[in-house]
Amino acid sequence: MIKVGIIGSTGYAGQELVRILLQHKEAEILMFGSQSYKDKKYYEAYRNMFKLVDNVCSDGSVEELAKEVDVIFTATPNGYCSSIINEDILSRTKVIDLSADFRIKDIDNYKEWYGIEHRSFSYVNEAVYGLPEINRELIKTARLIANPGCYPTCSILTLAPLLKENIIDKDSVIIDAKSGTSGAGRGAKVDNLYCEVNESMKAYGVGTHRHIPEIEQELAKAAGIPMYINFTPHLVPMNRGILVTAYASLNKAMTEEEVRDIYEAYYKNENFVRILPKGIFPETRWVEGSNYLDINIKIDPRTNKVIMIGAIDNLVKGAAGQAVQNMNIMFGLEENAGLNLIPLFP
Amino acid sequence: MIKVGIIGSTGYAGQELVRILLQHKEAEILMFGSQSYKDKKYYEAYRNMFKLVDNVCSDGSVEELAKEVDVIFTATPNGYCSSIINEDILSRTKVIDLSADFRIKDIDNYKEWYGIEHRSFSYVNEAVYGLPEINRELIKTARLIANPGCYPTCSILTLAPLLKENIIDKDSVIIDAKSGTSGAGRGAKVDNLYCEVNESMKAYGVGTHRHIPEIEQELAKAAGIPMYINFTPHLVPMNRGILVTAYASLNKAMTEEEVRDIYEAYYKNENFVRILPKGIFPETRWVEGSNYLDINIKIDPRTNKVIMIGAIDNLVKGAAGQAVQNMNIMFGLEENAGLNLIPLFP
Amino acid sequence: MIKVGIIGSTGYAGQELVRILLQHKEAEILMFGSQSYKDKKYYEAYRNMFKLVDNVCSDGSVEELAKEVDVIFTATPNGYCSSIINEDILSRTKVIDLSADFRIKDIDNYKEWYGIEHRSFSYVNEAVYGLPEINRELIKTARLIANPGCYPTCSILTLAPLLKENIIDKDSVIIDAKSGTSGAGRGAKVDNLYCEVNESMKAYGVGTHRHIPEIEQELAKAAGIPMYINFTPHLVPMNRGILVTAYASLNKAMTEEEVRDIYEAYYKNENFVRILPKGIFPETRWVEGSNYLDINIKIDPRTNKVIMIGAIDNLVKGAAGQAVQNMNIMFGLEENAGLNLIPLFP
Amino acid sequence: MIKVGIIGSTGYAGQELVRILLQHKEAEILMFGSQSYKDKKYYEAYRNMFKLVDNVCSDGSVEELAKEVDVIFTATPNGYCSSIINEDILSRTKVIDLSADFRIKDIDNYKEWYGIEHRSFSYVNEAVYGLPEINRELIKTARLIANPGCYPTCSILTLAPLLKENIIDKDSVIIDAKSGTSGAGRGAKVDNLYCEVNESMKAYGVGTHRHIPEIEQELAKAAGIPMYINFTPHLVPMNRGILVTAYASLNKAMTEEEVRDIYEAYYKNENFVRILPKGIFPETRWVEGSNYLDINIKIDPRTNKVIMIGAIDNLVKGAAGQAVQNMNIMFGLEENAGLNLIPLFP
């Protein structure tokens, strides 16, 4: 039984970790970390957990926690994990960080986009970018996982096969992404009030969203050369779900079948990636609550472009589900242990 | 392994049965019945099931099905199950009917409220009303289960303890119920279009809803005398969930603690009923996707009334989850087998 | 041209006042009061007003404002208006207060329910409860209007005719009310975040909501004797709208036509009350954005109860629209000036 | 007073025409055309209109109608208007067609995208594409207006200035559009049920949407050369609103100020186009219920692209509002007569 501590268990991603791990036969949560609900029952933060979790939230020292658990998930604001990580902790426990602290390998890039001085940059190189479909082997032996962002997970996996196979023009990539509102977190902000989000659609962070360098870094690995992309996120009046609609120019004329074959081959052994049948495009409702990524593509011969569409649940494959997938790999479990979550509809 | 056939597997309740049974370790769905999707892959009706269900929908004879499966779920329009049931079928297989056909024990009552001539009334008496918290012993040996309606499940379990203990005035009961839109089914009707339901709230079936005789029949059993209630359902712009707000006059002054103690005692061995702590009232979001019923009450000393509030997921405890709970009991499994569903939030 | 100042113009009710007054041919807003947006352009708070309102928000003295305008609307938190009102102000300008400060005539009642010491109780008796359908004559000459709450407006007008005509048992009244989320205001609270409200339904303030004494006070006037009611508000995942479903026992058997005739007679000269045809019940979507109150009733002969249903837009007839209706009456304008707002659907 | 007949008055666009024209001081609706509600009161289709419209819907001959009214609006399925138009009708009355029948000037293009044989192609050349900001002069004297589609209105006006000024690469244009569900009409289809649309986001008509040739035709006029674009529409769980996020490569490096100046100049005399201040991007909530188009742009120097964002209410500027704007121009009224609609929020 893997002993788990969650720092930041009362944010949306933290709660989703709790939901998934409660259903995981080989993991047990020992510590529900929270500053805002310290010394309160966990179910006071999330009443769905009444009678399911009787634990009290705590805000104790990471050092002590590292002695007691096999893995720590940090579902905390950017800057937290990098401020506490050290050799002592990593020698005792594994760490899966759901924040951005260890995702960006270039320190200048990190500083530029996040505006935070990194406090443990020496561990950035050790940290493995936890996208199992791409980095599975490295994850197996990692001590520290940089769990990918929600937009990057969906964007990278939707685009990587065609970049890797040099099918599309690397300078032509445009990613138009749409996210449910849980991606904005549980902080009390006017912009995220029901009446402000409901019945509206908007772009935000236009040209400046912090997931841009993360997407570019990983797509560059797939492409083999530096990448600069356009990425525009949008806020959708729904709780969960990310839809990525990506556009690129084809390097040469190809049929839809040829392109879909590339995806099928690339993901043929993957549990959590579903390449949809021709003509059926991803919709976020069909992955809600599950760890699936649905993908399909369309060739537009009139403009010689390929439209690539991917959908995930931002809290599952985009955060907590992927974190558990990483945990499973790190501990030698079946990769889908606790993750056979059937999408909930309607 | 229990072999299952589902007639009407492509309605919302049918699909929820599929979702739950796929996670059930001791059940296997052999037949996905559907008229509208006959000969089509099941995932064409519900694309969340892509790669999870590869079966083709069929519309075969019930007689043949009865030979092959241990239990048939009928998630069909009212009138269907009563038209096909017979001794031959019941001698071969168990039947759990999610329609209203076998719920109403008084044939005149059935005819009056449903406007349908009952075609197998001789089985109405045999059929057990499948509310495990009340009829568990009868369910164990039943061949035919009348699976309760969504509103009745929530209403009856929220009110029964106080009626049974004679705490409330039987003539004073008012039930104001609110339901998500999945309760209206997947039929293509203008009234259920997104733009018609969204951003609105309405009462419907005022004084005439078909769940009235069902609620009255079962509450009368709890009370020991005939019951006539006011029941007003409302449509809420959300997918899932039923909230029941019930009102009744207290027969004598009581404290909230005394009344809550009655509930605690009544449901103390129940897996799926949660009596909430004082001052915390049920909200549908906290039970979504799960088989829970959350209950709490409030005494209003100014008017000597008790307000009883209950919340369920209409598709789970109000339909498919309860049907599986009944199956578990009928087959001697753990009652919560396949039903440890953690509420999905947000 | 009536010169208007709005204190608290950047809350939801304040903004609705702006929307309505901009379309009012005989009123002009001179002052957009706001603490939180002081010295900022009004459209920074509400970008729908870009190019429509070029004014800067101010937070100046009420005394100065009283010299410049003919009427001040206070759409402010409870306790504010009572803290600033005095003879000097009322001698110079009329005041329409959208808060609860001057609604409750019994000072003990106010203290008990609001927990605030009233700082200008001498004006409570002078203040007219601004429900034009009931107090039109008093409003004409009032200096200070206590603009009714949203739930009270809908509840009182839905129930008053039958109480006044002694048709229903005064001890049997139950009001189950449902409100859109704009009623909760624009404050940044976790409970009002999109993901917390969306896809859920809950009761709140059960037995303790501050609109109870207001409803009771006004219904008592209609009934001619003290009233104690059950009132349970619910939060609905929609922006606007209040639906009131009220229940009461009939004092004697009556037909639906007879009861509807009472409503028709009571409201026959009213512009903003629509008694719907038999069998058609109010839905909030049909009044959204307008000053209408829709009403219909149903007799349930099985329980000898009448179900009374009313629907308004909480921000219009439940707040800003009614405030403008009061202004029109106070200044001798056509009562519907600026209020011929057609409900926006879908 | 302009006498108006509306054929197809019970669809969403037809009802929006009714809402707007009821507030128009110089127009009067004589005929509420409808097949599905023939001989029924108009408010039976839209109960918001109870007490506002007492007319009965009719399904009479267009010839007779043409004798009685000054202008006919056809808010009908594609193929209808072209089947009834003739010289006799156009000699008696003006026609504003909200369908696609007269938008596409190339008959082969029409046949290819719409799959309908055009029955009055001789009038296609006469018909003026009713986008006032571009074709105002032609509209003044037109007999027959092809009222633009919702997506085209938003797309064309958002892109035209930069194409006209040759600022962007004509081969690089990508339009990612998002629409509220009212755009799908009031037909009873499973795909448009509340539970199917709610809590989801999807692309549809990928590469095949019928608005593509319309957008290309009009952008080609602005650019002066043929245009081929990528256009991907998405369905958003909200009632109203279109957001267009368009991408293109800059022909040369430019500052945001320079580009915004082009828009400011292009639309400087326009009532209904609002170029937002730097850094504030359009959101559909800020135009809901109004005839406004909000636009802003962002330069991404890293990729040398410009992101152009526009937002409209699909039923107003995208349909009925624009139709009334055309009517005003055709009849020599103030262009904003009846169209000073203030966006409704929240």
Peptide bond into D346 cis (omega under 30): yes
CB-CB under 8 Å, B47 with A344: no
- The answer to whether residue C324 sits within a structural domain is no
CB-CB under 8 Å, B199 with C346: yes
On whether both D310 and D167 belong to a single domain, the answer is yes
Domain range for D79: 2-126
With a cut of 70, list the residues of chain B below it in pLDDT. none
Phi then psi for residue C290, to 5 deg, are: -115, 170
- The answer to whether residue A135 sits within a structural domain is no
C175-218 residue pLDDT tens: 999 999 999 999 999 999 999 999 999 999 999 999 999 999 99
Tell me the average confidence (pLDDT) per consecutive run of 10 residues in chain A, 346 residues long. 98 98 98 98 98 96 97 97 97 98 95 91 96 98 98 98 98 98 98 98 96 98 97 98 98 96 98 97 98 98 97 98 98 98 98
- CATH code of A77's domain: 3.40.50.720
Task: Using an 8 Å CB-CB cutoff, list chain C residues near A238.
Answer: 198
pLDDT of residue A196: 98
Of A91, A126, A161, the one marking the end of a domain is: A126
Q: How far is D8 from chain C (nearest CA, A)?
A: 16
pLDDT of residue D101: 97
Which residues in C have their CB inside 8 Å of a CB on D? 12, 15, 19, 22-23, 46-52, 182, 199, 239-240, 274, 276, 280, 283, 285-290, 294, 340, 342-346
Chains that touch A (3 or more CB pairs under 8 A): B, C, D
On whether both B189 and B227 belong to a single domain, the answer is yes
On whether both D190 and D74 belong to a single domain, the answer is no
Beta strands in D126-271, from DSSP E residues, in sequence order: 128-129, 144-146, 174-179, 202-203, 230-235, 242-249
**Which positions of D are catalytic?**
150
Confidence tier at C119 by pLDDT (50, 70, 90) = confident
- The answer to whether residue A156 sits within a structural domain is yes
pLDDT of residue A339: 98
- The answer to whether residue A80 sits within a structural domain is yes
On whether both B160 and B299 belong to a single domain, the answer is yes
pLDDT of residue C66: 98
On whether both C114 and C236 belong to a single domain, the answer is no
On whether both D72 and D174 belong to a single domain, the answer is no
Nearest CA in chain C to D15: C345
Q: How far is B70 from chain D (nearest CA, A)?
A: 32
On whether both D191 and D47 belong to a single domain, the answer is no
Phi then psi for residue D148, to 5 deg, are: -65, 160
The alpha carbons of chain A give a radius of gyration, in whole angstroms, of: 20
Nearest CA in chain D to C182: D346
Given D203, D230, D309, which is nearest A303 (Cβ)?
D230
Number of domain units in chain A: 2
Q: Compute the count of residue pairs across chains B and C with CB atoms less than 8 Å apart.
A: 148
**C14 has a pLDDT exceeding 90:** yes
Mean pLDDT of chain C: 97
Tell me if A196 sits within 8 A of A293, measured CB to CB.
no
Residues composing chain D: 346
Given D178, D202, D239, which is nearest A199 (Cβ)?
D239
Please give the Cα distance from C80 to A16 (Å, whole number).
Answer: 42
Nearest CA in chain C to A191: C188
On whether both C100 and C192 belong to a single domain, the answer is no
The alpha carbons of chain B give a radius of gyration, in whole angstroms, of: 20
Marked catalytic residue, from A81, A150, A154, A195? A150
> What are the DSSP calls for A247-305, one per residue?
EEEBSS---HHHHHHHHHHHTTT-SSEEEPPTT---BGGGTTTS--EEEEEEEETTTTE
pLDDT of residue D116: 87
Find where tokens 């940044």 sit: C188
- CATH code of A274's domain: 3.30.360.10
**Which positions of C are catalytic?**
150
| CB neighbour list of residue C199: distance below 8 Å, 6 or more residues apart | A239, B180, B238, B239, B240, B241, B284, B285, B288, B346, C237, D199
Tell me if B229 sits within 8 A of B215, measured CB to CB.
yes
On whether both B121 and B155 belong to a single domain, the answer is no
D32-78 residue pLDDT tens: 999 999 999 999 999 999 999 999 999 989 999 999 999 999 999 99
pLDDT of residue B119: 87
Find where tokens 């603490």 sit: C35
In this prediction the ipTM stands at 0.97
On whether both C117 and C236 belong to a single domain, the answer is no
Tell me if D129 sits within 8 A of D113, measured CB to CB.
no
Please give the Cα distance from D90 to D69 (Å, whole number).
Answer: 12
CB-CB under 8 Å, D23 with C340: yes
pLDDT of residue C20: 98
C236-294 residue pLDDT tens: 999 999 999 999 999 999 999 999 999 999 999 999 999 999 999 999 999 999 999 99
With a cut of 70, list the residues of chain D below it in pLDDT. none
**Model confidence pTM above 0.95:** yes
> Across-strand partners of C4?
C29, C71
CB-CB under 8 Å, A302 with D241: no
Give the helix/strand (H/E) hosting D55.
none
Which residues in D have their CB inside 8 Å of a CB on B? 12, 181-182, 186-190, 192-199, 237-239
pLDDT of residue D299: 97
On whether both C265 and C165 belong to a single domain, the answer is yes
- The answer to whether residue D322 sits within a structural domain is no
pLDDT of residue B303: 96
Task: Using an 8 Å CB-CB cutoff, list chain D residues near C50.
Answer: 274, 276, 286, 294
pLDDT of residue C90: 98
On whether both C278 and C216 belong to a single domain, the answer is yes
- The answer to whether residue A331 sits within a structural domain is no
- The answer to whether residue D70 sits within a structural domain is yes
- The answer to whether residue C143 sits within a structural domain is no
Give the helix/strand (H/E) hosting D240.
none
